[in-house]
Amino acid sequence: MMRTMTLRKLRASRRRGSSAASEDATGGTGSRDERKQRTRRALLDAALELMQGERSFSSVSLREVTRSAGVVPAAFYRHFSGMEELGLALVDDSFKTLRRSMREARAAALPATHLIRRSVETFLGYAHTHRHHFQFIAKERFGGSSVIRFAVRKEVHLFTSELATDLARFPLAGKISTEDLQMIAALVVQSVMMATEAFLDMAPNEPDDAAQLYQQTEKQLRLIFIGAQGWRSKPATRA
Amino acid sequence: MMRTMTLRKLRASRRRGSSAASEDATGGTGSRDERKQRTRRALLDAALELMQGERSFSSVSLREVTRSAGVVPAAFYRHFSGMEELGLALVDDSFKTLRRSMREARAAALPATHLIRRSVETFLGYAHTHRHHFQFIAKERFGGSSVIRFAVRKEVHLFTSELATDLARFPLAGKISTEDLQMIAALVVQSVMMATEAFLDMAPNEPDDAAQLYQQTEKQLRLIFIGAQGWRSKPATRA
DNA sequence: AATTTCAGTGAACAGTTGTTGACTTTCATT
DNA sequence: AATGAAAGTCAACAACTGTTCACTGAAATT
């Protein structure tokens, strides 16, 4: 709870100094709009960075964000009405990159059976290269403000729906109703997300735990597909 | 971000007034030790209450806690060294009540097949009557400080282990290694916790969604058991 | 009955927070 | 070249934060 540098000193060393501000975005070239988008991204990135490791989104302050974006607090309001709006923008960003990755993976023509493995692989790839985005999602899926929480859930739901339509292309999916496919997809997404989150904040010097986690998750997926194989949807009881 | 009552007025109306302080614990009868434990609980309860709905644990301030516990900030340090220690105490409390419930459920002699249903029922019962405790666990499982996060995970792991030993008593569990039982138990716990969390912060005026969620979760469990039925553990590849 | 122990008090501290209004400066339009 | 828009600055505000210290008063010990 102690800062070593006073506000004044920090601000004095800001212009092209960048000693403490990690994401300085002011200055530079480009059209007015480009420059604006740049500091907007600086704010988003700063917020994401600040929650790495120990903190939750709701514990990150507006001033902290502007500080490490290299901008004065008041400037924040030129981009967002408050932290909640920034949070929603982060949800958007995170899923935009995720969906892009998955769409590319899907684009490669599929031998059906390898499709799941490929999907899981690209998902893990996403989680690895965009780990900040993923960890943000993982945290805000349960914690924090309800509006952000629901935004995340809506996106996750959409994501599982896409997986469900992929599953429908499977040969042995004939006996399974679309509703049940959705339920199976939810189970898969759940497991993979959980495992990924656990994996990401594991101590990197304990590779044994990581291997064990990976094996367990693979087994879980296999068990789910065995279950799906034996599944028989009741003829939809609809009124 | 605006308080309607000034600090002075609030504090003036505190003694036996209890207009804003919901968990006033000072005064009353009992031995010294009893009185101490009472305000300790008041602090814990206040913290739990403050995070209901919108907030995460890390966004609740020490002063807020003492304020709604009806105690002066400095008194906090007679019980905890800081908010983190209080958080760990909350983890402990939450799982203590959960484990007590489950142990009782297990005590009733089991017709084996009904045991799972009974377990899920008591778990849901716990989540319903101790919803504050459960929601705390659900939030801090991913968000917030790592020491609390790991404390929660350790307890969840222990919990799934207990479920795994229960599963071992099942007739058709013969072909399954203990390691694989653990992995199946993890899958079950995961699904039930997820569903419960989703259920608890659903709008209470939308019973259709609740019913649909319940059905889906039941299906998921059934599918998992179908999978378990078809599961065949490889003869343990141990060195 | 005298003394120690200690949960809770009250006040002060330095620092941080969100939000505001009037300002400068720079780009894009007229 | 004059004019407008607007991204970012500066300074100030009231409120809140965690932590400290010497203190009080009542229960527990002697």
Nucleic strand C within 7 A of Cβ B68: no
pLDDT band (50, 70, 90) for residue B107 = confident
Q: Can you give the pLDDT at residue A234?
A: 76
pLDDT winner (highest mean) among A13-27, A106-120, A212-226, B196-210: A212-226
- CA B26, CA B42: separation in Å to the nearest integer? 9
Q: How far apart are CA B44 and CA B100, in angstroms?
A: 19
Q: Which of the four pLDDT bands, split at 50, 70 and 90, describes residue A71?
A: very high
Q: Decide: CB of A82 under 7 A of nucleic strand C.
A: yes
Quote the pLDDT of residue B192: 96
pLDDT of residue B12: 38
CB atoms B143 and A140 under 8 Å: yes
- Bases of chain D within 7 A of a CB of the protein: 6-12, 15-22, 27-28
Mean pLDDT of A81-97: 97
Which H/E stretch holds residue A190? helix A178-200
Our measurement of CA A42 to C1' D2, in angstroms, reads 34
The yes-or-no verdict on residue A114 having pLDDT over 60 is: yes
Is A102 in contact with A113 (CB distance < 8 Å)? Answer: no
- Neighbour count for residue A95 (Cβ, 10 Å): 19
Q: How many CB pairs under 8 A join A and B?
A: 109
| Interface residue of A223, A225, A233, A238 to substitute, partner B, most B CBs within 10 Å | A223
Contact A212, A219 (CB under 8 A): no
Q: At residue B79, does pLDDT exceed 80?
A: yes
pLDDT per residue as tens digits for the range B173-189? 888 999 999 999 999 99
Q: Which residue's C-alpha is at the least distance from the C1' of D5?
A: A32
pLDDT band at B26 (very low <50, low <70, confident <90, very high): low
- Cβ contacts of A190-196, under 8 Å, gap ≥ 24: A190/B190, A190/B191, A190/B194, A191/A217, A191/A220, A191/A221, A191/A224, A191/B187, A191/B190, A192/A120, A192/A123, A192/A217, A192/A221, A193/A138, A193/A156, A194/B190, A196/A123, A196/A124, A196/A127, A196/A134, A196/A138
B115 beta carbon to strand C: under 7 Å:
no
Quick check: A187 and B53 CB within 8 A?
Answer: no
Q: What residue ranges define each of the domains in chain A, with the CATH number in brackets?
A: 21-78 (1.10.10.60), 83-229 (1.10.357.10)
pLDDT band per the 50, 70, 90 thresholds, residue B115: confident
B74 contact to strand C (CB, 7 A limit): yes
- In chain B the first and final C-alpha atoms are separated, in Å, by 61
In angstroms, how far is C1 C1' from B37 CA? 30
